[in-house]
């Protein structure tokens, strides 16, 4: 018999303190309240704006379908921009991704700085890039394509280098043991393992880019976005709704096709 105070077996464990949760909720509420003050958002204003919104919706219907003929070219240009931008970005992403992957580029002196640059590139939204490139290259689809290319490069390179780091090392070691040079190792041991993923990421980025390209025109970078400004500026909401519906249709079709293709790839 020892005098150790044995714990009562059936005692309920104490619930963890609720203080932390309470404090978190308080902080979040404070942040939200501060945000509401900063942005001058009030429910009253929203309610007051509802009639305006309903007016707007009423003016948008029925859509003026004949306007589709005017915007078909711009729509095709949008798709073209997305396609070319994604392709250029994907090509640029290959070397960057290889440099970023810690299992292929052994030296931390290389892959950390490259990753850092990649992260910087990804923080800049595509519309900002487009606005910058418009300032450099002038109006037209060319700055839009460059903006999409830079943006896609950042996204594809990130997704690809994460996939690269999970590849099977067996083939790589086998290639090394027979004395293959780095180029051979990449083309016979890395590419076969990664190509399906890469293609899937490119398609995924293409989906995003179609949406992005549709609004780049707002800053003068070509495509359908320009027509939003034109029609809204002249208060022709029935035409705006045609643009919106047309864009939605194209985006949905491209998303569907690309999703089916991606399912086949993986």
Partner 1 sequence: MTKSGNKIMRKPKKPAYRWLIYAALAIVYIWAFAGIPYTGIKETAGQISKAILAGIFSPDWDYVYLPDGEDLLRGLLDTLAISMLGTFISTVVCIPFAFWAATNMSSSKWVSGSGKMLLSFIRTFPEIIMAILFIKAVGPGSFAGVLALGLHSVGMLGKLFADEVENLDKGPIEALIATGASRLQIMWFAVIPQVLPGFLSYTLYRFEINVRSATILGIIGAGGIGTPLIFALSSRNWERVGIILLGIIIMITIIDMISGSIRKRLV
When binding is defined by CB under 8 A, the residue of 148, 163, 202, 219 that contacts partner 1 is 219
Size of the site for partner 1 (CB under 8 A): 57
Candidate ranges 6-14, 92-100, 126-134, 160-168; the one touching partner 1 (CB under 8 A): 126-134
**String of contacts with partner 1 for each residue 83-102, x by CB under 8 A:** xx--x---------------
Binding of residue 157 to partner 1 (CB under 8 A): no
Residues 30 to 49: which contact partner 1 by CB under 8 A?
A: 31-32, 34-36, 38-42, 45-46, 48-49
CA distance 124 to 151: 8
Does 27 sit near partner 1 (CB under 8 A)? no
Residue 25 lies near partner 1 (rule: CB under 8 A): no
Which stretch in 64-72, 119-127, 159-167, 186-194 sits in contact with partner 1 by CB under 8 A? 119-127
* Candidates 6-14, 131-139, 167-175, 180-188; binding stretch for partner 1 (CB under 8 A): 131-139
Contact 119, 180 (CB under 8 A): no
Q: Segment near partner 1 (CB under 8 A), from 77-85, 171-179, 180-188, 191-199? A: 77-85
Q: Does 221 bind partner 1 (CB under 8 A)?
A: no
3-state secondary structure the chain: CCCCCCCCCCCCCCCCCCHHHHHHHHHHHHHHHHHHHHHCCCHHHHHHHHHHHHHHHHHHCCCCHHHHHHHHHHHHHHHHHHHHHHHHHHHHHHHHHHHHCCCCCCCHHHHHHHHHHHHHHHHCCHHHHHHHHHHHHCCCHHHHHHHHHHHHHHHHHHHHHHHHCCCCCHHHHHHHHCCCCHHHHHHHHHHHHHHHHHHHHHHHHHHHHHHHHHHHHHHCCCCCHHHHHHHHHCCCHHHHHHHHHHHHHHHHHHHHHHHHHHHHHC
Please identify which residue in 74, 99, 118, 145 interacts with partner 1, judged by CB under 8 A.
Answer: 145
Pairwise CA distance, residues 44 & 46, whole Å: 5
Specify the stretch interacting with partner 1 by CB under 8 A; choose among 9-17, 82-90, 98-106, 187-195: 82-90
Nearest to 165 by CA among 111, 118, 88, 87: 111
Minimum distance of partner 1 from residue 263's CB (angstroms):
15
Q: Which residues bind partner 1 (CB under 8 A)?
A: 31-32, 34-36, 38-42, 45-46, 48-50, 52-53, 56, 76-77, 79-81, 83-84, 87, 119-120, 123-125, 127-128, 131-132, 135-138, 140-142, 145, 211-212, 214-215, 218-219, 228, 232, 244, 247-248, 251-252, 255
């Amino acid at each position: 018999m020892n005098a150790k105070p044995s714990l009562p077996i059936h005692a309920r464990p104490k619930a963890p303190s609720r203080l932390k949760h309470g404090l978190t909720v308080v902080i979040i509420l404070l942040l939200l309240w501060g945000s509401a003050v900063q942005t001058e958002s009030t429910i009253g204003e929203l309610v007051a704006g509802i009639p305006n919104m309903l007016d707007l919706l009423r003016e948008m219907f029925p859509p003026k379908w004949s306007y589709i003929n005017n915007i078909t070219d711009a729509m095709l240009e949008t798709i073209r921009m997305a396609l070319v931008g994604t392709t250029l970005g994907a090509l640029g992403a290959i070397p960057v991704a290889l440099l970023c992957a810690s299992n292929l580029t052994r030296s931390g002196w290389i892959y950390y700085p490259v990753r850092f640059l990649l992260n910087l590139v990804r923080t800049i939204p595509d519309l900002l890039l487009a606005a910058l490139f418009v300032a450099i290259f002038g109006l037209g689809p060319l700055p839009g394509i460059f903006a999409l290319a830079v943006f896609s490069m950042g996204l594809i390179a990130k997704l690809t280098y994460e996939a690269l780091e999970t590849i099977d090392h067996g083939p790589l070691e086998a290639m090394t043991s027979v004395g293959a040079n780095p180029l051979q190792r990449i083309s016979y041991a890395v590419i076969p393992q990664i190509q399906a993923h890469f293609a899937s990421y490119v398609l995924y980025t293409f989906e995003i880019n179609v949406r992005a390209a549709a609004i780049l025109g707002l800053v003068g970078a070509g495509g359908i976005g320009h027509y939003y400004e034109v029609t809204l500026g002249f208060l022709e909401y029935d035409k705006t709704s045609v643009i919106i519906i047309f864009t939605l249709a194209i985006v949905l079709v491209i998303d569907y096709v690309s999703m089916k293709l991606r399912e086949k790839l993986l």
